[in-house]
C-alpha cells in the first residue's frame, strides 16, 4: 500500500503572519504498531490549530518537526489493526482523534490530512451506519477538549458520562456553548447527569437547548453574569468550562459568586490561560488551561472513546454536533476550508471529504 498513500504536507513552518502553505504529495504507508489502527480517511474537519502562521507554530507546537502532516479530526474505515487490538476490525466505520502534532507523537503518519492515518486504538470509536463520515468528523478534537476539561482530575474532575446518568442537583456552566467544544461539553455534562447552563448568541439558543442545556443566556448581554448567578441559584456550581476569547473574566466572576467547587477550566491552553488568568483572578477560584490531547494518556480518553461514545451514538443519546458543512472533496481543498474557518463559523464545522 506504500505507493497509494497521499498526504497534505506542510513542508516548513511558514512565514510569520502568513498562513501555512500546504502541498499534496505521496507519503509512506505506515502499518499499525501494537495498540494502533490504520484508517482509510473519508472525511476530515478543520480546526484553527491546523493553519497557524509560522511564529505561532513556534509558540503553540514548538516540538513539531517538518515536513509535517497536521489535522486532528478523522472519520473513515479501519483497514489494518496492530497487535493487541481486539475491539476494532478492518471494515469498521469509525471516527478518531489523530495525534500527529501531539508532543508525545510528533509523527507525520499520525496526522489526519492524508489517505491512510495511524490512530491510537483507544481514541477511536465505531460509528453507527446512520451517521455519515462527514458528520462524524466534526467530533474528535472538540469532544476530546470538552472531555479533558470536564472530567480530568486536574481540571473540573466531574463524574464521567454513562448510558444511564443519575440526575444531579449540581450545575455545569458552559460559556461558549455554540462552539464545537461547547456543543460537546453540553452533551457530555448532560450525559453525566448535570444540569447545564450555557451562553451563546440568541440565534443559537434553540440549538443549545436541543443539545440539553436547561438555561441559555446571551454571552454579549451586559447582565449575563448576574443572570447566570441567579439561574444557578443556591444549588452548587460543579464547575465551569470557559470557551472563547473573553470568557475567563465572566466565568471566574460567576464561580466566585456561587457555591460549589469554584473550578474553571479554560479551553485556551495553559500558557494562554496563565497570561490571561491574572486579570480574571478571584480569591478561591482555581483556573486551569486545557490541552485537548492529554486525555489519551489517562482514564478519560478510553472512558469516552471506548466505553461511552460508541453506544451513545448508536442509541442517539449523543449527537455529532455541530452540523457539518462540506467545503469540498480531496486533500487539496483543505487549505480552502482553513481560509474559510479563519472568517469564522457559528454552530458549524467545516469538513472536507477525502
Ligand atoms: N485547548 C485545546 O486543546 C483546544 C482545542 C480545540 C479548540 N480550542 C479552543 O476552543 C475555542 C473554541 O474552538 P471551536 O473550534 O470549538 O470553535 P468554533 O466552533 O469555531 O466556534 C464558533 C462559535 O464561537 C462562538 N464565539 C465566538 N466568539 C466567542 C467568544 N468570544 N466567546 C464565546 N463564544 C464565542 C460563536 O458563537 P455564537 O455565534 O453563538 O456567538 C460561534 O458559534 C477556540 O478558542 C479554540 O482555539 C482549544
- In a domain, residue 305? The reply is no
Q: How far is the CA of 89 from the centre of ligand 1 (A)?
A: 35
Q: How far is residue 325's CA from residue 287's CA, in Å, rounded to a whole number?
A: 34
Which ligand 1 atom minimizes the distance to the CA of 200?
Answer: 40
Instruction: Tell the residue nearest (CA) to atom 22 of ligand 1.
Output: 179
pLDDT tens sequence across 231-253: 999 889 999 999 998 999 999 99
What is the dihedral angle through the alpha carbons of 286, 287, 288, 290, rounded to the nearest 10 degrees? 140
Residue partners of 134: CB distance under 8 A and separation at least 6:
43, 75, 324, 326, 351, 353
Q: How far is residue 190's CA from residue 215's CA, in Å, rounded to a whole number?
A: 12
pLDDT band at 1, cuts 50/70/90?
low
In this structure, the residues whose C-beta lies within 6 A of any atom of ligand 1 are 47-48, 141-142, 145, 176, 178-181, 200-201, 204, 219, 243-247, 267, 269, 290-292, 345-347
Mean pLDDT of 128-148: 98
- The SS3 assignment for 216 reads strand
The CATH number linked to 82 is: 3.90.180.10
Structural domains in the chain (count) = 2
Same domain (yes/no): 283, 339: no
Strand-pair category, 171-175 with 215-218: unpaired
Q: How far is the CA of 180 from the centre of ligand 1 (A)?
A: 7
Same domain (yes/no): 101, 189: no
**So what's the pLDDT on residue 14?**
66
Taking the alpha carbons at both ends of the chain, their separation in whole angstroms is 17
Same domain (yes/no): 170, 269: yes
Q: How far is residue 349's CA from residue 345's CA, in Å, rounded to a whole number?
A: 7
Mean pLDDT of 211-224: 98
Same domain (yes/no): 91, 12: yes
Same domain (yes/no): 129, 16: yes
The CATH number linked to 238 is: 3.40.50.720
Same domain (yes/no): 88, 168: no
- In a domain, residue 78? The reply is yes
pLDDT tens sequence across 339-351: 999 899 999 999 9
Which ligand 1 atom minimizes the distance to the CA of 291?
Answer: 3
Same domain (yes/no): 194, 217: yes
- In a domain, residue 127? The reply is yes
Domain that holds residue 183: 144-289
Among 241, 266, 289, identify where a domain stops. Answer: 289
Same domain (yes/no): 195, 68: no
- In a domain, residue 297? The reply is no
Same domain (yes/no): 164, 233: yes
Mean pLDDT of 267-296: 84
Lowest mean per-residue pLDDT among 19-33, 113-127, 190-204:
19-33
Among 289, 307, 329, identify where a domain stops. Answer: 289
Q: How far is residue 232's CA from residue 46's CA, in Å, rounded to a whole number?
A: 34
Ligand 1 pocket test, pick from 51, 243, 341 with the greatest ligand atom count within 8 Å of Cβ, gives: 243
Instruction: Tell the residue nearest (CA) to atom 28 of ligand 1.
Output: 244
Amino acid at each position: 500500500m506504500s505507493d497509494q498513500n497521499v498526504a497534505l504536507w506542510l513542508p516548513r513552518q511558514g512565514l510569520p503572519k502568513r498562513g501555512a502553505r500546504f502541498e499534496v504529495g505521496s507519503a509512506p504507508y505506515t502499518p499499525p504498531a501494537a495498540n494502533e489502527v490504520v484508517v482509510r480517511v473519508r472525511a476530515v474537519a478543520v480546526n484553527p490549530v491546523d493553519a497557524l502562521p509560522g511564529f505561532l507554530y513556534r509558540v503553540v507546537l514548538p516540538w513539531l518537526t517538518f515536513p509535517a502532516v497536521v489535522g486532528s479530526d478523522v472519520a473513515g474505515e479501519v483497514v489494518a489493526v496492530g497487535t493487541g487490538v481486539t475491539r476494532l476490525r478492518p471494515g469498521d466505520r469509525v471516527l478518531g482523534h489523530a495525534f500527529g502534532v501531539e508532543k508525545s507523537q510528533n509523527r507525520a503518519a499520525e496526522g489526519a490530512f492524508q489517505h491512510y492515518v495511524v490512530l491510537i486504538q483507544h481514541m477511536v470509536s465505531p460509528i453507527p451506519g446512520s451517521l455519515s463520515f462527514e458528520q462524524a468528523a466534526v467530533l474528535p478534537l472538540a469532544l476530546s477538549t470538552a472531555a479533558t476539561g470536564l472530567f480530568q482530575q486536574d481540571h473540573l474532575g466531574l463524574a464521567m458520562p454513562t448510558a444511564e446518568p443519575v440526575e444531579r442537583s449540581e450545575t455545569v456552566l458552559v460559556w461558549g456553548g455554540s462552539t464545537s467544544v461547547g456543543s460537546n461539553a453540553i452533551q457530555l455534562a448532560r450525559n453525566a447527569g448535570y444540569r447545564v447552563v450555557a451562553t451563546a448568541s440568541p440565534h443559537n439558543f434553540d440549538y443549545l437547548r436541543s443539545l440539553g442545556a436547561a438555561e441559555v443566556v446571551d454571552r454579549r448581554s451586559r447582565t449575563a453574569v448576574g443572570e447566570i448567578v441567579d439561574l444557578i441559584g443556591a444549588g452548587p456550581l460543579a464547575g465551569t468550562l470557559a470557551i472563547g476569547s473573553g470568557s475567563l473574566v465572566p466565568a471566574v466572576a460567576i464561580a466566585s459568586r456561587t457555591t460549589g467547587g469554584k473550578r474553571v477550566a479554560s479551553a485556551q491552553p495553559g500558557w494562554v490561560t496563565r497570561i490571561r488568568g491574572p486579570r480574571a483572578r478571584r480569591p478561591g477560584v482555581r483556573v486551569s488551561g486545557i490541552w485537548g490531547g492529554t486525555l489519551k494518556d489517562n482514564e478519560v480518553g478510553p472512558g469516552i472513546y471506548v466505553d461511552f461514545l460508541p453506544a451513545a451514538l448508536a442509541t442517539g443519546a449523543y449527537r455529532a454536533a455541530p452540523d457539518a458543512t462540506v467545503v469540498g472533496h480531496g486533500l487539496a481543498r483543505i487549505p480552502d476550508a482553513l481560509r474559510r474557518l479563519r472568517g469564522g463559523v457559528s454552530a458549524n464545522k467545516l469538513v472536507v471529504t477525502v
